[in-house]
Structure 1
Amino acid sequence: MSNESRAEVLARLPLRDDLRGRTPYGAPQLDVPVRLNTNENSYDVPAEVAAAIVEAVRQEAGHLNRYPDREFTQLREDLANYLGHDLEADQIWAANGSNEVLQQLLQAFGGPGRTVLGFAPSYSMHPIITVGTGATWVDGKRGRAGQATDDPNQFDLHVAETVEQIERVKPAVTFLCSPNNPTGTALDLDVVKAAYDATDGIVIVDEAYTEFARTGTASALTLLPGRERLVVSRTMSKAFALAGARVGYLAADPAVTDAIRLVRLPYHLSSLTQAAARAALWHSDVLLDTVEAIKRDRDRIVTSVRELGLNPAPSDANFVLFGGLADEKALWRSLLSRGVLIRDVGLPGFLRVSAGTPEETTIFLDALADSLLDAPVTV
């Protein structure tokens, strides 16, 4: 074998110039007792739902010699029924996780010579997918001038500041995120309406965590009528506990799904994936029971970390961003040494933790208290 490193070989390959020096997405996958770093649903798929999925897949297995339904018609109908809001199946699109849905949108509406705007901090895959599809990413700003650096409210979006940035950048695609990752905060729909009116491009509202939102939090699905350039993306990875199945979807004007058909790969959603997703949707009431349990532990985290002297963001997701840390990396390492893995999202003074089972949440909170006692790292 050559003594050259893989990095040396990669440097010689005819890689696109705009990809050189970049790093791939990757959250640490470490073997520790408590993993609360990737916003997974900490509850296993209930036995009755798992059995229904297995049976649905079994019925498809004997016909794998045939291509799947390219239009995944029945799945689109089931997703429309689940979402409600008088949505029809021709307004729904699905793919292998919401990341592929977003990639297809950017293949259709982004690409070389076009700009995509997002508001940092937000979901780290948005810029990665943008660059991967050849468009130019622009980091927008959140909050207002003069806010304290340890104040989680500094990450809110406001109408005037959002509109000013859209009008200045003139993006082909604008990303909004509600609840936002990594802050967990939901978006006022006035911001969505103002963003839409400020551009002639596509506006994508990423609602991956919307099932965890607090009572009264409105969805951008209510804004779809009359807005042909508005897209709302969702996932079955979080609330439905199907991260391993890779199913994401969107709701939009039917013309948007027609645009995606121009770039999607044929038969992109396998028969097995379609069957598993449909079986899960038929048991949505059982699966969503865990959502309420997760919300209780999320709220317990918010209350408990505040009592420890930290500054948590008011979360509408299944995770909590908390600030007030003088050395977030030291605290992250201290928690890891105690068998608890959470997420350093790259924000100075902040860390993010997923809400786990009651037992996992208790272990995290005890480890956090011990870490702060042993080596105080708060501001």
Structure 2
Amino acid sequence: MSEIEQLLRPELRGRTPYGAPQLDVDVRLNTNESSYPVPDAVVRAVSAELADELSGLNRYPDREFTALRTALADYLATQAGVSFDPEQLWAGNGSNEVLQHLVQAFGGPERTALGFTPAYSMHPIITETLGTRWVDGQRDAQTFDLTVESAVEQAGEVDPNLVFLCSPNNPTGSALPFEVIEAMLDAAPRALVVVDEAYAEFARPGTPTALSLLADHPRLVVTRTMSKAFTLAGGRLGYLAAAPGIIDALRLVRLPYHLSTPTQTVARIALEHADLLLETVEAIKAQRDRIVAELTALGLAPVPSDANFVLFGGLADAPATWQALLDDGVLVRDVGIAHHLRVTAGTPQETSRFLAAMSRLVPAHMMTKENP
């Protein structure tokens, strides 16, 4: 063990940092970014606003990001049909920072967080690196579903302080049965229940949002992001809705002036142009559904998705298929689930490249009796 490793906190020794490959390839479909650039009208509006603000960067930004929170409240009222006071909104540099704030405030030594695998890999990483015990709850091994009965039983065994639910779930893409959320609030009476809705804008029609439950459940938190549907992964803006008391608790752990003036401006102007930015959502959903249909026709096993990606199984050797796709100029994600890979829904041209590559690989890469 090196001298630095000896100085490192024991629970961090031997860990590897999070990181999806960032490779220069023709078709990059591995991190659920939007393949569509920010529209020129939004670029011009942001540039004009920033030009007026740059001379004022000698001053700290608005610590309470008041205008941004008001814009977020207006957006949720329009998009989700749920009204919030700006005091119920919080934001950070990506939803990961928002999740970090929650664990800092409500986790810690001798506290436990429960999540249901497979789900977003940053939930346990954030939890454990902040000194909170993580319990890896389980979904159905074949369908990846989480039933009310299973969720309630696992919560009863753990009695957690934090519960992470992901809907639509990453990496499986499926929305959570709505009953699970309400059942978890009852089954984990001392827990803050966090519903991660990063992909909510891509959900199929009729899929409810946990935002509608907030008025009746003060221990519920709903997190979202502008990285996906808003084509702003590089903008780094995540947010949450919760009871004002939870927002007050997050003020205790956030770093001073954690949202820069440019970040607040980019996000606020983007929200003013929400209709324009969200025009790509239906196009992305069409490619997602196309991927599901065509992979099914190839004999593979995609999971029906409510997100902007598709998890598909039926592969004999997922890492080998990942490499074969990369050799063909297509980068997808190996999420560590045996016989499965995940692909982001891109432009029609990118989808065609991916599907053409898969058609060349099938059936040699398929899981069969002869090729298990």
Smaller-chain TM-score bracket: over 0.9
Residue 131 of structure 1 and its aligned partner are, at CA, apart by 1.1
Are residues 1:324 and 2:324 paired? no
Match of 1:146 in 2: none
Q: How does 1:1-379 map to 2 (within 5 A)?
A: 8=2, 10-12=4-6, 14-84=7-77, 85-143=82-140, 151=142, 153=143, 155-199=144-188, 200-373=190-363, 375-379=364-368
Q: Structure 2 CA distance, aligned partners of 1:376 and 1:134? A: 41
Question: Amino acid of the residue matched to residue 160 of structure 1?
Answer: E
Q: Structure 1 CA distance, aligned partners of 2:224 and 2:48? A: 25
Question: Amino acid of the residue matched to residue 118 of structure 2?
Answer: P
> Does structure 2 retain, via aligned residues, the 8 Å contact 1:297–1:356?
yes
Percent identity between the two aligned chains: 61
Residue 363 of structure 1 and its aligned partner are, at CA, apart by 0.3
> Does structure 2 retain, via aligned residues, the 8 Å contact 1:60–1:275?
no
Paired residue secondary structure (2:104): helix
Paired residue secondary structure (2:222): strand
> Does structure 2 retain, via aligned residues, the 8 Å contact 1:319–1:355?
yes
> Does structure 2 retain, via aligned residues, the 8 Å contact 1:228–1:252?
yes
Gapped regions of structure 2 (runs ≥ 5): none
Count of aligned positions: 363
TM-score, normalising length from structure 2?
0.96
> Does structure 1 retain, via aligned residues, the 8 Å contact 2:173–2:303?
yes
Q: Structure 2 CA distance, aligned partners of 1:60 and 1:120? A: 44
Deviations 1:243-289 (A, max 9, x none): 10100000010111001011111100011100110000000000000
Deviations 1:67-109 (A, max 9, x none): 1110000100000010111111000000100000000000000
Residue 371 of structure 1 and its aligned partner are, at CA, apart by 1.5
Structure 1 vs Structure 2 CA RMSD: 1.0
> Does structure 2 retain, via aligned residues, the 8 Å contact 1:330–1:377?
no
Q: Structure 2 CA distance, aligned partners of 1:57 and 1:156? A: 45
Q: Structure 1 CA distance, aligned partners of 2:2 and 2:366? A: 40
Paired residue secondary structure (1:224): helix
Question: Amino acid of the residue matched to residue 90 of structure 2?
Answer: W
Q: Structure 2 CA distance, aligned partners of 1:59 and 1:274? A: 14
Gapped regions of structure 1 (runs ≥ 5): 1-6, 144-148
Q: Structure 1 CA distance, aligned partners of 2:288 and 2:280? A: 12
Q: Structure 2 CA distance, aligned partners of 1:115 and 1:28? A: 31
TM-score, normalising length from structure 1?
0.94
Residue 372 of structure 1 and its aligned partner are, at CA, apart by 1.7
> Does structure 1 retain, via aligned residues, the 8 Å contact 2:106–2:192?
yes
Question: Amino acid of the residue matched to residue 186 of structure 2?
Answer: D
Question: Amino acid of the residue matched to residue 299 of structure 2?
Answer: G
Q: Which stretch of the first structure deviates more once superposed, 50-59 or 239-248?
A: 50-59
Which consecutive aligned stretches of 4+ in structure 1 deviate over 6 angstroms post-superposition? none
> Does structure 1 retain, via aligned residues, the 8 Å contact 2:300–2:366?
no
> Does structure 1 retain, via aligned residues, the 8 Å contact 2:111–2:160?
yes
Question: Amino acid of the residue matched to residue 248 of structure 2?
Answer: D
Q: Structure 2 CA distance, aligned partners of 1:285 and 1:239? A: 11
> Does structure 2 retain, via aligned residues, the 8 Å contact 1:331–1:377?
no
Q: Structure 1 CA distance, aligned partners of 2:68 and 2:129? A: 28
> Does structure 1 retain, via aligned residues, the 8 Å contact 2:50–2:262?
yes
Q: Structure 1 CA distance, aligned partners of 2:59 and 2:365? A: 61
Residue 189 of structure 1 and its aligned partner are, at CA, apart by 1.1
Q: Structure 1 CA distance, aligned partners of 2:345 and 2:3? A: 41
Residue 9 of structure 1 and its aligned partner are, at CA, apart by 5.0
